[in-house]
Amino acid sequence: MAYTLSELRAELKLTVGDVWEGTTTSPGGADGSSLISTYLSARALSDDAYKYQWVLITSGSCVGEERLISSFTRSTSTITPAQNFSSQISSGVTFEISRIRPSLLTRFINQALRDCYPQLHVPYDHRGMVAGGLVYNDDFEDWATTSSPEWWTVNAGTVTRDSAGFMQGGYCARILGGALNPAVYFSPMEYSLYHDARFVNLAGKTITWYKYAKTSTANSVRLGIICVNGSGVTTSTYGDYHTGGGAYERLSVTAAIPSTLASISFAVDVKSGDTAYVDSGYCESPFTLYEYPLPSYMDFVGQVFTGTSWDNPNYGAQTRLFNAHVINRGDRKWLRIDSGLSGGQRLRIVGYGPFADLSSNGDSINVSAKQAEAVVEKAAARYFAYLAGLGAMSAKDRADLLAMARAHAADANSILERNQMAIPFQINLADDSGDY
């Protein structure tokens, strides 16, 4: 079941009992200098009852704005923020009052998701990697953001993660060409910490890169391989353009790599103003490859299989691999297949990773009701631990807050013991890099 950030925040507010909601009953200052609500006076015993607390606007033109309260006048039901809102707060606008900055509730929920890992995680079944493939994230399944595919550089135009126009997997790159070319490129030798050797060793070789693309405009998208030799001379080799017509075509480019190689880039060239959808690709290495970068979202690998050819949309018969394990390269995790594989086979990687941070109210996690309760309890533990670290207070008050934090954490752990997610079978415990 999906639980949104908005729902998790609501449950957290109920759990900690220190956040309440209200609605404005009159327009505030035209310059955003005040908020007026009789709800405030009904809950206050004196002026400045809300001083140094926080107000969050949850509807209207200023939705999402949070302000520290500098003063409150009970007789007029008026809050004065330390900094004006961006515009007037109208009547009928909803808001929250809390002792701490409201955005911290979201931070506590995201921290709780990390605290609950790996008992709570996102399962993944990744099928886009290709054995022997030189180009990282050649299937455009892994995205740093919705406009930036992992390992790739956006050079011009607009690149968007697209979940409707893909050929295989779950995503493709929708590219609107800009004034510069290429629109997007993969330049592996920028990542000197990782695997320069496999690309330096391409010197003097001839390679062919294939990639599927579709566009309605003829002569608008093509592939390129751009090399800089040891003397700084650039050689750009481009393949044929897509013929247009709106269907996926397999594009290709074949390049002779110079005998000395300082850099190499694999480029998708889209003409300015034209739109293309780009998906699965494969550039076969002229030598055996043993290591492949895991998708950034995957933290644990349970099983690895080989399937059919990389350009076959049907995965086909599967063969389980038992000689694969995970290693660290810098801040990345890599899948190592000790015996190597013949090029062109699609790999299926079954594993899991942590939940991504929730940021907007509609962001969600797929968990059971009890698992969502565990997340809220962990967030409540973070909440009370935070309060215990604030300012001057008596030793008893601090001890009471810390006791509440421990109690909520214990409740969460008890729930997780009985409601954790299934863990895929681990493929190899004998990894000398310490991963898993």
State pLDDT tens for residues 180-212: 778 788 887 655 444 557 788 899 999 999 999
Round the average pLDDT of the chain to a whole number and report it: 90
Q: Is the pLDDT of residue 429 over 50?
A: no
**pLDDT in the model for residue 131:** 92
Q: What is the pLDDT of residue 435?
A: 28
Q: Which residues, 6+ apart, have CB-to-CB distance to 122 below 8 Å?
A: 297, 352, 353, 354, 355, 356, 366
Q: Give pLDDT tens digits for 102-138.
A: 889 999 999 999 999 999 999 998 988 999 999 999 9
Percent of the chain exceeding pLDDT 70 equals 94
- CA-based end-to-end distance of the chain: 29
pLDDT band, residue 340 (cuts 50/70/90): confident
CA proximity to 335, closest of 300, 306, 308? 300
Distance CA 153, CA 150 (A): 8
**Torsion (CA) 283, 286, 288, 289 in degrees, nearest 10:** -40
Contacts of 163 (CB under 8 A, 6+ apart): 170, 171
Instruction: Kindly tell me if the per-residue pLDDT of 159 is higher than 80.
Output: yes
Bridge partner list, 81: 69
- What span, in angstroms and rounded, lies between the C-alpha atoms of 2 and 366? 4
Q: Measured in whole angstroms, how far is the alpha carbon of residue 428 from the centre of its chain? A: 27
Both tokens assigned to 120 = 């709570």
52-111 pLDDT per residue, tens: 999 999 999 999 999 999 999 999 999 999 999 999 999 999 999 998 898 899 999 999
pLDDT-based confidence at 318, cuts 50/70/90? confident
Residue-range domain boundaries for the chain: 19-98, 124-352
For 219-262, the pLDDT digits (tens) are: 999 999 999 998 999 999 999 999 999 999 999 999 999 999 88
More confident residue, 318 or 24: 24
Burial class (CB in 10 A: 0-12, 13-18, 19+), 330: exposed
Q: Is the pLDDT of residue 433 over 60?
A: no
Q: For the chain, what percent of residues have pLDDT higher than 90? A: 67
Q: Is domain 124-352 annotated with CATH 2.60.120.260? A: yes
Beta bridge partners of 67: 55
Vertex 93, ends 102 and 80: CA angle to 5°?
A: 65
**Which pLDDT band holds residue 175 (cuts at 50, 70, 90)?**
very high
What was the pLDDT predicted at 361?
Answer: 85
Structure tokens belonging to residue 388: 């215990």
CB contact at 8 A, 353 and 339: no
Phi and psi at 366, nearest 5°, equal -100, 100
Residue 317: pLDDT above 60? Answer: yes
Helix ranges, 116-263 (H): 196-200
Angle separating helix axes 369-388 and 103-115, nearest 10 degrees = 120
How far apart (Å, rounded) are the C-alpha atoms in residues 364 and 2? 6
Q: Which is higher by pLDDT, 193 or 144?
A: 144
pLDDT higher than 90, residue 426: no
- Phi and psi, residue 255, nearest 5°: -130, 140
pLDDT at 427 (0 to 100): 41
